[in-house]
C-alpha cells in the first residue's frame, strides 16, 4: 500500500449541500416558506461567534432561513428557557440550536432538554438519543452522522468490520458506536481510562478517535490498512490538528480524515440536513 486515501469532508459536504439546496428550493416552493434554523448564542465566546457565523453562512448556501438570537452573558436560566420556549412555539422555526459552551452559571443540560425533540437538529435531547438507541432514529447527532456519510461517500463498507470508537460522550462517542452497530460493524468502545489503548486499536479495521487529546495516537496504535476518522480539533503553533498524528499514517492507513477539512465541515452539513428533515423534507 503506497497511497492513503484522504477522506475529504469538505468536498463531501459541498457535494451534499448542492443536492440539499435543490431539495430546499423545491420544499420552499411547495410549502411557501423555507425551513428555519434558530441559533441561540449567550455571551461573546470568540470560538462560538466563529461557529455561529459559519452556520449562518451555511444556511444561506443551502437556502435555509437562519434566525440569530444573541443574548447577554448575564442571561438567567429562566430567561434562556423563555427564549427557547418562544422558539418551540414558532411555526417558522424547524430547528433550535443552543450554541455551547454556555456561561458557567447556566445549566447546559436543562437548556438542551428544553428544546422539543421535534425541533432538535443536533439530535442531543434525551428524546432523540432514546429514539436513536432504540433503532427508531428521528435525527442522529451531527458529528457521528457526518462520519458515517463520509464512509458512505467513499464506499467504505463497515459491515462485519471491527470498529473501535475512542470517546464516550453523548455528542460523539456513544452515538457513533450506535450508528456503526446499526451499519453491522462489530464495535468496541474505548476511552481515556482504557488499559493499553493501543493494544485495542491495533485490532481495529476502523477507528473513530474522539477523545479530545492532541496527537494522542500515532502509527504504533494502528494496523496497516486501517481506516481512521479523527474527530479531534486542537489549535496549535502550526494551526489546527487532531487527536491522531496523521503525518505518521501516510502510506500506512488505507484512508483517513484530515484535520482540518475532514469531519468538521460534515458536522455543519448534517445540522442543515437534520433541520430539513425536521421540517418534513426528505433526503
The answer, as to whether pTM is greater than 0.85, is yes
**CATH of the structural domain 141-264, one choice from 2.40.280.10, 3.40.50.720, 3.40.50.300, 3.40.50.1980:** 3.40.50.720
Split at pLDDT 50, 70, 90, the class of 208 is very high
pLDDT of residue 50: 86
Mean pLDDT of 164-177: 97
Residue from 8, 122, 205, 243 carrying the catalytic annotation: 122
pLDDT of residue 283: 87
Q: How far apart are CA 47 and CA 111, in angstroms?
A: 20
Query: Any idea what DSSP says for residue 72?
Result: -
Give the start-to-end residue ranges of the domains of the chain: 32-121, 141-264
Number of Cβ atoms within 10 Å of the Cβ of 56: 16
- State the chain's mean pLDDT as an integer: 96
Quick check: 194 pLDDT over 90?
yes
Q: Is 180 helix (H, G, I), strand (E, B) or coil?
A: helix
For residue 122, indicate whether it is catalytic: yes
Split at pLDDT 50, 70, 90, the class of 175 is very high
pLDDT tens by residue, 53-83: 899 999 999 999 999 999 999 999 999 999 9
Listing DSSP states for 146-159 in one string gives HHHHHHHHTT---T
* CB-based contact 65:35 (threshold 8 Å): yes
Quick check: 2 pLDDT over 80?
no
pLDDT of residue 67: 96
pLDDT > 90: percent of the chain: 91
Residue from 8, 94, 99, 149 carrying the catalytic annotation: 99
The CATH code of the domain at 32-121 is: 3.40.50.10860
Q: Do domains 32-121 and 141-264 have the same CATH topology?
A: yes
Q: State the maximum Cα–Cα separation within the chain, in Å, rounded to a whole number.
A: 58
pLDDT of residue 149: 98
* CB-based contact 96:125 (threshold 8 Å): no
For residue 55, indicate whether it is catalytic: yes
Mean pLDDT of 91-119: 96
Mean pLDDT of 257-272: 96
Amino acid at each position: 500500500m503506497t497511497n492513503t486515501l484522504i477522506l475529504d469532508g469538505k468536498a463531501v459536504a459541498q457535494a451534499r449541500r448542492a443536492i440539499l439546496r435543490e431539495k430546499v428550493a423545491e420544499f420552499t416552493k411547495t410549502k411557501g416558506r423555507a425551513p428555519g434554523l434558530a441559533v441561540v448564542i449567550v455571551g461573546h465566546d470568540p470560538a462560538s461567534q466563529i461557529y455561529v457565523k459559519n452556520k449562518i453562512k451555511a444556511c444561506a448556501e443551502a437556502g435555509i432561513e437562519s434566525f440569530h438570537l444573541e443574548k447577554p452573558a448575564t442571561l438567567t436560566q429562566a430567561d434562556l428557557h423563555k427564549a427557547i420556549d418562544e422558539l418551540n412555539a414558532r411555526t417558522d422555526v424547524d430547528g433550535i440550536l443552543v450554541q455551547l459552551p454556555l456561561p458557567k452559571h447556566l445549566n447546559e443540560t436543562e437548556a438542551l432538554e428544553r428544546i422539543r425533540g421535534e425541533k432538535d437538529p443536533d439530535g442531543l435531547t434525551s428524546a432523540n438519543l432514546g429514539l436513536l438507541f432504540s433503532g427508531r432514529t428521528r435525527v442522529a447527532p451531527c458529528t457521528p452522522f457526518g462520519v458515517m456519510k463520509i464512509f458512505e461517500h467513499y464506499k467504505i463498507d463497515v459491515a462485519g468490520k471491527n470498529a473501535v470508537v475512542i470517546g464516550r460522550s453523548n455528542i460523539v462517542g456513544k452515538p457513533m458506536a450506535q450508528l456503526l452497530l446499526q451499519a453491522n460493524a462489530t464495535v468496541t468502545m474505548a476511552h481515556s481510562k482504557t488499559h493499553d489503548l493501543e493494544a485495542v486499536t491495533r485490532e481495529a479495521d476502523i477507528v473513530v478517535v474522539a477523545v479530545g487529546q492532541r496527537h494522542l495516537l500515532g502509527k504504533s496504535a494502528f494496523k496497516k490498512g486501517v481506516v481512521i476518522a479523527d474527530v479531534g480539533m486542537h489549535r496549535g503553533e502550526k494551526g489546527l490538528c487532531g487527536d491522531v498524528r496523521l503525518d505518521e499514517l501516510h502510506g500506512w492507513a488505507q484512508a483517513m480524515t484530515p484535520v482540518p477539512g475532514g469531519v468538521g465541515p460534515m458536522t455543519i452539513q448534517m445540522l442543515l440536513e437534520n433541520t430539513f428533515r425536521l421540517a418534513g423534507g426528505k433526503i
